[in-house]
Amino acid sequence: MSYFDTASAAPLHPVARQALLAALDEGWADPARLYREGRRARLLLDAAREAAADAVGCRPDELVFTPSGTRAVHTGVSGAMAGRRRTGRQVVVSAVEHSSVLHAAEAYERVTVGVDRSGRVAAADFAAALRADTALACLQSANHEVGTVQPVAEAAALCRAAGVPLLVDAAQSLGWGRVEGEWSLLTASAHKWGGPSGVGLLVVRKGTRFAPQGPADERESGRAPGFENLPAIVAAAASLRAVREEAAREAVRLTALVDLIRSRVPRVVPDVEVVGHGTLRLPHLVTFSCLYVDGEALLTGLDRAGFSVSSGSSCTSSTLTPSHVLKAMGVLSEGNVRVSLPPGTAAEDVERFLAVLPGVVAEVRSALGAPSAASAGPGRQGGREPRESALVVDSLGKLCPIPVIDLARVIDDVPVGGLVTVLSDDEAARLDIPAWCEMRAHDYLGERPAEHGTAYTVRRRA
């Protein structure tokens, strides 16, 4: 079985395992106590904090350990907002932030800055959203779904000039290197770089107004109440140091493997859109979407073939809505696959994935009755004569990719310049029908409310 979902959780690094087992024997006591066992635990905690601070590029007294990355985000946002409550209640975020950041910002006046089709924020747009009552800005270092690296250093400089602290979610990138720039707060999660789950980092740089919210406690500067999970903290810090030592070498190797996937998938699988920035991206992550494919069926097929990957398609989500990241980018969401390679991934495993993928996609498309690539291009009528100048397709009650497949089946039934209107109540159609038009070189004319669902209108081009 090849595990290709390290962006969700990286396999436990061998150094983390060794440190965890050793700390279970040596770090079980209360580090706040003055007796021998407590002093020993305190030494382990201080050493872990110094190692983590060195990796981040901050002072040890600026960094605290939290029970998770999500907890670090919520503590960071609420503490920064409380510390600047006299400034205002506005929080500026990018449209592709991790859900933990978006949820934390919901308690305030959230202003969202859009991204381009690669998922990247324009620093100038980010700065333009700052106002006199902006208390905090949040920008991820790199996106968790498509791997696009954000202009953090530039955004941080603009935020500092405006007097607004910037919180950086560095969960996906910290294992690869420091986050540069004059940011004010930073969060991360150990299980993203090969540490144990249940350990997060929160950094609040000196000079940043911060008022911890929630239960009062003396531990971790009052920012993470409760007894420290010292063995996990020690393992997290040790593994962060270890992966950093390997990062430069692995980045070169994994970048080459990701480049192979990015270039070959569109050649061996018809009707695929590779998403995310082509060069400004994490070295181990690639995402692509397959037209006329059900995401859950695709992931299940790949799992049977021996590959663990993830997806942002709505059919793989409990909410049945497409990924907010793909939605913000305006790209195809159906049949979405995220491949994130763990360190040590063998080239042979990637080659095997590329050999298996076309058959799995073809099997899913066949089961859905999707049109073939040869018969679905613009101007190909397959011997059919156009019958109507306008058609309405009722896809109500059907989940994507079915509304898109229904559209593809009838587009040749109208003449060039003719209209097809698709009725759909699936949220994913709002993304996937325009994306289909772009891939198929037809004109998307927009949407309008219908008696039931939404009507999406397409004009056929030659």
Residue 315 designated active-site: yes
The radius of gyration of the chain from alpha carbons, rounded to an integer in Å, stands at 25
For 15-42, b where at least 16 C-beta lie within 10 A, e where not — what string? bbeebbeebeeebebebeeeeeeeeebb
Helix boundaries (H) for 137-229: 152-162
**The two three-digit tokens of residue 369, written as one number:** 């009755």
| CA–CA dist 259, 233 (Å, integer) | 35
206-230 burial code (b ≥16 CB/10 A, e <16): eebbbebeeeeeebbebbbbeebbb
CB atoms within 10 A of CB 381: 12
Q: With contact defined as beta carbons under 8 Å apart, do 315 and 184 qualify?
A: no
138, 159, 290, 315: the active-site residue: 315
Residue 72 burial by CB count (10 A; 0-12/13-18/19+): exposed, middle or buried?
buried
Cα–Cα distances (Å) from 90 to 132, 149, 213, 422, in that order, read: 9, 25, 18, 39
CA dist., res. 41 & res. 441, Å (int): 64
Q: Running DSSP on this structure, what letter comes out for residue 370?
A: P
Largest Cα span, the chain:
89
Q: Rounded to an integer, what distance in angstroms lies between the CA atom of residue 147 and that of residue 282?
A: 5
Residues annotated as part of the active site? 315
